[in-house]
């Protein structure tokens, strides 16, 4: 999908967030990212995480308890592979081609909401992408940068980062499509347990509660501008949303919100 976007555009960056690292072959992933980086002229941003669903690991026959070690291996392998030099990988001498466009390597961030993820990013001198607004985790990451003598930065969501859908009549849109948002919110909620934190966090049990909560917001174009948000996260296909409704939301944003923001 990122490749298709790059083929149709010339300037915008595309973020793939997140690649569940332990479920990928490190050498193949290194090559795929390098090719996309070349194709796009350096516009690719990759966030590598470890996920939060044991079921996904079972599907690919990967041991859940080994996810941390596998992620370490993946990140270290990517960084070695993108140098274009030979290196040792699982007892073999390998070299990956082509070399990426970006020097020294394509933009790679470590995603996660745990201290282990922050520590991993700091050790490798990679930027850190917390999955939510977690200033205490950002502080921990910066402490580890000092400890390891590396440099890095964070790309962290703001305290208020709702999922947006643009509509001319929000009341009507909630009545027609609210169940799609609720289905998605309840699905994410079912995946949370113990130290597992899913990407969307909601305690709503009804469409009315979900709307009041503010995690999902259906706004008119004018309301979207008036929100004054630093980050706008569009969510056009939430929970099986009809495709045409998703397109309608994106068109409204492109035609009535973007021109105002750009101005």
- Please write the tens of the pLDDT for every residue from 208-261: 999 999 999 999 999 999 998 888 999 999 989 999 999 999 999 999 999 999
* pLDDT over 80 (residue 197): no
Residue 131 confidence class, pLDDT cut points 50, 70, 90:
confident
Q: What is the pLDDT of residue 194?
A: 65
Mean predicted lDDT score pLDDT of the chain = 94
User: Residue 160: what pLDDT?
Assistant: 84
Mean per-residue pLDDT, 60-79: 98
What local confidence, expressed as pLDDT, does residue 147 receive?
98
Reference 49, options 135, 136, 142, 155; nearest CA is: 155
Q: What is the pLDDT of residue 199?
A: 66
pLDDT recorded at residue 230 = 80
Tokens of 249: 């939301």
Contact yes or no for 138/130 (Cβ under 8 A): yes
Cα separation, 46 vs 18, in Å, equals 7
Percent of the chain with pLDDT over 70: 97
Would you say how long the chain is, in residues? 263
- pLDDT of 27 reads 98
């Amino acid at each position: 999908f990122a490749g298709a976007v790059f083929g149709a555009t010339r300037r915008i960056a595309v973020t793939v967030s997140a690649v569940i690292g332990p479920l990928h072959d490190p050498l193949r992933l290194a090559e795929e990212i390098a090719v996309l980086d070349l194709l796009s002229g350096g516009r690719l941003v990759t966030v590598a995480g470890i996920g939060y669903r044991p079921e996904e690991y079972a599907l690919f026959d990967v041991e859940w308890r080994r996810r941390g070690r596998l992620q370490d291996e993946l990140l270290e392998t990517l960084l070695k592979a993108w140098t274009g030099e030979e290196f040792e990988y699982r007892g073999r001498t390998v070299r990956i081609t082509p070399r990426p466009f970006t020097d020294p390597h394509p933009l790679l961030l470590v995603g996660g909401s745990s201290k282990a993820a922050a520590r991993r990013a700091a050790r490798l001198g990679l930027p850190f992408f917390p999955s939510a607004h977690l200033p205490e985790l950002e502080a921990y990451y910066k402490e580890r940068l000092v400890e390891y003598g590396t440099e890095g930065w964070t790309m962290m969501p703001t305290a208020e980062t709702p999922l947006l859908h643009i509509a001319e009549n929000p009341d009507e849109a909630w009545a027609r499509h609210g169940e799609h948002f609720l289905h998605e919110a309840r699905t994410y909620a079912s995946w949370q347990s113990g130290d597992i934190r899913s990407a969307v966090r909601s305690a709503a049990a009804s469409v009315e509660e979900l709307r009041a909560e503010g995690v999902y917001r259906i706004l008119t174009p004018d309301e979207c501008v008036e929100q004054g948000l630093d980050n706008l996260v569009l969510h056009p296909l939430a929970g099986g949303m009809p495709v045409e409704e998703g397109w309608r939301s994106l068109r409204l944003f492109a035609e009535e919100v973007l021109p105002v923001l750009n101005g």
